[in-house]
């Protein structure tokens, strides 16, 4: 689908066909230059140093913007009088307009220059990440539409700027989503430093939007919990000057705003990660052999237990979530509902951990080659997985210390304690499983890996050999057999290849039939390992989805059970949750992506 879209664009079509057919001419490569490194001995070295310097300077730009914005947002939180939310919005709008200008310039100027996009990184912007950009982007637009509607109804007590800001936001989201959908794979070869600065500015803006959303989100939680207390005290005594009139439309806007809020934070984080990969890819030259010849596709066949178990976990999880939401949002949350919630987790988490451990063991048993080529997308995935897990793990350790210090023999306390321990264990085992899986060669690509003359890192880019399609596919099928028989199969294959040059078409057909029979035989021999991997990763995908849904839509028992809150004090525990919870949500979403990749390549 992405290729179809891309080929509609004129300049990209041009370079795609170039990169597919002939190696790029050295005259079309724009080597980077930087004043500091004029005297390097070779062009390549100067290029690499200029790249590093460009990354350093654009990174410094982003750092300064992020620090300035963070200071603004913190000032707003801790000193409402001197710096208001409107000031922060003005700063962010200026940044958004700057980003918009750069994105439009990139779309119309930079990317249409001759030889601008000679290479495309096939690993960058996979379909599931671009899909989530579109999905979260459309939800965020809806959120802003609701906000505009809500402000329009209450126009008598709200200022006009509260309609202007969401409009700029909608423009920004649309343009950015369009830009990321079409250009996330680009390895731009012109205007390196300007593009790097533009990308870094956009990343900084997204990070600040995320920071504002997170602090606002939790402040909103705080206000809600305080309001509840106030309501209990002054029941029926309304004094607020700017409340929603009792019309349905206003209530819908208000509810929709609260419900859609989490998608906005996720949108910012996903955009940041895609933009970061683009930034790493600026000026990158990919040898043509890095492009995988056949990309494995998502197929839902041969898996039974994973989807069944996963679906059961999802259904039970939704029931638990509904009961939790009904009970916990009431005036006084019941102890029972927490016991139910934590019991669900304690039943699910060991299953997930065991699945991940078995998956890791199968990875070790399977004799598949490792993919050790340079791949910025994968490096980022690994870093994001480890980094996002830190939020959850940190929160769990704080819980453990608080619970051990108070009274671990109480039922609810012991439940929370085991929940925290299991959560740490689950996060670590799942990370090891995903990281290990991402570094395996997809079973389709294993064929190429075993023929060093077909793939690898040749110094001089050369044409991939064009053979008969039937020949290539029969070879590829052969190499999918169990590597234990590899040697013997290879000899047989060489013999076949030798024969094939002489035999007639009839004999060729017979050979192919023989080869496919042996393929089916070996597939049924191999399949248990591959099937087990697929079952496990599918099960984990579904589990991670339900574990993502629950905190995203407002189940925050770590805050509502009140145990840690009373131990650490309100504001400290608030700060810890504030840091850990959004990272935990992002972790679940990101694991789903990683596990899908493991599922596809299994």
Does residue 94 bind a second copy (CB under 8 A)? Answer: no
The residue among 51 and 144 lying less far from a second copy, judged by its C-beta, is 51
Token pair in block for residue 439? 């570094």
Phi, psi (deg, nearest 5) at residue 370? -90, 145
Q: Which of 142, 171, 314, 435 binds a second copy (CB under 8 A)?
A: 435
Q: Which of 129, 424, 545, 602 binds a second copy (CB under 8 A)?
A: 424
Work out the burial of residue 580: count CB atoms within 10 Å of its CB; fewer than 13 is exposed, 13-18 middle, 19 or more buried.
buried
> Is the CB of residue 287 less than 8 Å from the CB of residue 458?
yes
Q: How many residues does the chain have?
A: 602
By CB under 8 A, what part of segment 98-117 binds a second copy?
Answer: none
The residue among 485 and 513 lying less far from a second copy, judged by its C-beta, is 485
- What is the residue whose two structure tokens read 């694991």? 591
The residue among 396 and 474 lying less far from a second copy, judged by its C-beta, is 396
The residue among 406 and 510 lying less far from a second copy, judged by its C-beta, is 406
> Is the CB of residue 493 less than 8 Å from the CB of residue 478?
yes
Of the candidate spans 20-28, 189-197, 220-228, 434-442, the one that interacts with a second copy by CB under 8 A turns out to be 434-442
Token pair in block for residue 319? 């029931």
Of the candidate spans 18-26, 64-72, 271-279, 547-555, the one that interacts with a second copy by CB under 8 A turns out to be 64-72
From residue 536, give the alpha-carbon distance in Å to each of 138, 445, 556.
32, 22, 28
Token pair in block for residue 60? 């410094």
The residue among 153 and 432 lying less far from a second copy, judged by its C-beta, is 432
Helix (H, G, I), strand (E, B) or coil at 289: helix
Please state the closest distance from residue 559 (CB atom) to a second copy, in A.
16
Does residue 318 bind a second copy (CB under 8 A)? Answer: no
> Is the CB of residue 205 less than 8 Å from the CB of residue 68?
no
Question: Which positions from 354 to 383 touch a second copy by CB under 8 A, shown as an x/- string?
Answer: ------x--xx-xxxxx-x-----------
Does residue 75 bind a second copy (CB under 8 A)? Answer: yes
Does residue 196 bind a second copy (CB under 8 A)? Answer: no
Of the candidate spans 68-76, 96-104, 108-116, 584-592, the one that interacts with a second copy by CB under 8 A turns out to be 68-76
Number of CB atoms found within 10 A of residue 224's CB: 12
Rounded to an integer, what distance in angstroms lies between the CA atom of residue 291 and that of residue 542? 30
Plot region of 309 (φ>0 → left; ψ -120 to 50 → alpha; else → beta): alpha
Does residue 164 bind a second copy (CB under 8 A)? Answer: no
By CB under 8 A, what part of segment 34-53 binds a second copy?
Answer: 35-41, 45, 48-49
The beta strand positions in 359-510, using DSSP E, are none
Query: Residue 312, Cα to own-chain centre: how many angstroms?
Result: 25
Phi, psi (deg, nearest 5) at residue 303? -115, 130
Please state the closest distance from residue 153 (CB atom) to a second copy, in A.
32
Q: Which of 79, 159, 329, 527 binds a second copy (CB under 8 A)?
A: 79
From residue 583, give the alpha-carbon distance in Å to each of 392, 394, 561.
7, 11, 20
By CB under 8 A, what part of segment 382-421 binds a second copy?
Answer: 390, 393-394, 397-398, 400-402, 405-406
> Is the CB of residue 201 less than 8 Å from the CB of residue 102?
yes
**Crossing angle of helices 505-552/305-328, nearest 10°?**
10
The residue among 273 and 360 lying less far from a second copy, judged by its C-beta, is 360
Does residue 567 bind a second copy (CB under 8 A)? Answer: yes
Rounded to an integer, what distance in angstroms lies between the CA atom of residue 153 and that of residue 31? 56
Does residue 241 bind a second copy (CB under 8 A)? Answer: no
By CB under 8 A, what part of segment 439-468 binds a second copy?
Answer: 439
Of the candidate spans 112-120, 230-238, 427-435, 499-507, the one that interacts with a second copy by CB under 8 A turns out to be 427-435
Of the candidate spans 77-85, 102-110, 223-231, 460-468, the one that interacts with a second copy by CB under 8 A turns out to be 77-85
Q: Dihedral of the CA atoms 251, 253, 254, 256 (nearest 10)?
A: 110
Question: What residues line the site for a second copy (CB under 8 A)?
Answer: 35-41, 45, 48-49, 56, 60, 63-64, 67-68, 70-72, 74-75, 78-79, 82-83, 360, 363-364, 366-370, 372, 390, 393-394, 397-398, 400-402, 405-406, 424, 428, 432, 435-436, 439, 483, 567-569, 571-572
């Amino acid at each position: 689908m992405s290729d179809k879209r891309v080929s509609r664009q004129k300049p990209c079509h041009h370079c795609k066909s170039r990169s597919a057919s002939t190696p790029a001419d050295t005259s079309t490569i724009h080597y980077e230059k930087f004043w500091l490194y004029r005297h390097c001995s070779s062009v390549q070295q100067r290029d690499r140093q200029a790249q590093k310097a460009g990354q350093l300077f654009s990174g410094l730009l982003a750092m300064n913007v992020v620090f300035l914005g963070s200071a603004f947002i913190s000032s707003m939180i801790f000193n409402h009088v001197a710096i208001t939310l409107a000031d922060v919005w003005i700063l962010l709008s200026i940044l958004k307009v700057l980003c918009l200008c750069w994105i439009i310039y990139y779309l119309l100027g930079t990317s249409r220059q001759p030889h601008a996009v000679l290479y495309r990184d096939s690993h960058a912007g996979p379909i599931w990440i671009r899909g989530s950009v579109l999905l979260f982007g459309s939800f965020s637009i809806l959120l802003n539409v609701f906000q505009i509607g809500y402000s329009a109804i209450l126009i008598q007590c709200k200022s006009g700027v509260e309609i202007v800001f969401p409009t700029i936001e909608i423009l920004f989201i649309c343009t950015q989503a369009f830009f990321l959908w079409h250009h996330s794979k680009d390895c731009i070869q012109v205007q390196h430093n300007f593009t790097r600065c533009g990308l870094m500015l956009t990343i900084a803006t997204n990070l600040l939007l995320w920071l504002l959303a997170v602090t606002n989100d939790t402040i909103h939680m705080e206000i809600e919990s305080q309001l509840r207390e106030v309501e209990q005290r002054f029941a029926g005594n309304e004094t607020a000057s700017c409340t929603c009139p009792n019309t349905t439309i206003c209530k819908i806007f208000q509810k929709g705003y609260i419900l859609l809020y989490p998608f906005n934070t996720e949108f910012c984080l996903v955009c940041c990660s895609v933009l970061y990969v683009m930034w790493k890819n600026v000026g990158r030259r990919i040898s043509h052999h890095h492009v995988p010849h056949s990309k494995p596709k998502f197929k839902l066949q041969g898996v039974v237990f994973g989807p069944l178990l996963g679906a059961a976990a999802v259904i039970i999880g939704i029931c638990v979530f509904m009961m939790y939401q009904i009970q916990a949002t009431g005036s006084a949350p019941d102890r029972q509902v927490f016991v139910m919630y934590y019991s669900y987790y304690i039943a699910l988490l060991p299953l997930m951990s065991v699945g991940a451990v078995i998956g890791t063991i199968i990875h070790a048993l399977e004799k598949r080659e490792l993919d050790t080529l340079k791949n910025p997308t994968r490096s980022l995935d690994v870093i994001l997985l480890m980094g996002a897990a830190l939020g959850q793990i940190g929160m769990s350790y704080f819980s453990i210390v608080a619970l051990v210090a108070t009274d671990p023999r109480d039922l609810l306390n012991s439940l929370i304690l085991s929940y925290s321990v299991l959560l740490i264990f689950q996060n670590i085992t799942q990370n090891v499983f995903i990281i290990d899986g991402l570094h395996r060669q997809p079973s389709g690509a294993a064929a190429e890996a075993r023929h060093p003359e077909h793939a690898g890192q040749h110094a001089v880019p050369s044409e991939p050999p064009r053979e008969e399609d039937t020949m290539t596919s029969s070879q590829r099928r052969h190499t999918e057999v169990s590597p234990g028989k590899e040697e013997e199969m290879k000899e047989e294959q060489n013999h076949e290849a030798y024969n094939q040059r002489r035999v007639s078409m009839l004999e060729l057909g017979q050979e192919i039939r023989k080869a496919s029979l042996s393929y089916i035989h070996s597939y049924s021999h191999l399949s248990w390992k591959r099937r087990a991997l697929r079952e496990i990763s599918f099960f984990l995908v579904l589990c991670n989805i339900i574990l993502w849904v629950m905190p995203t839509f407002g189940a925050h028992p770590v805050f509502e059970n009140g145990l840690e809150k009373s131990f650490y004090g309100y504001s400290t525990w608030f700060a810890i949750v504030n840091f850990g919870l959004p990272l935990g949500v992002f972790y679940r979403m990101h694991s789903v992506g990683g596990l899908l990749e493991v599922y596809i390549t299994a």
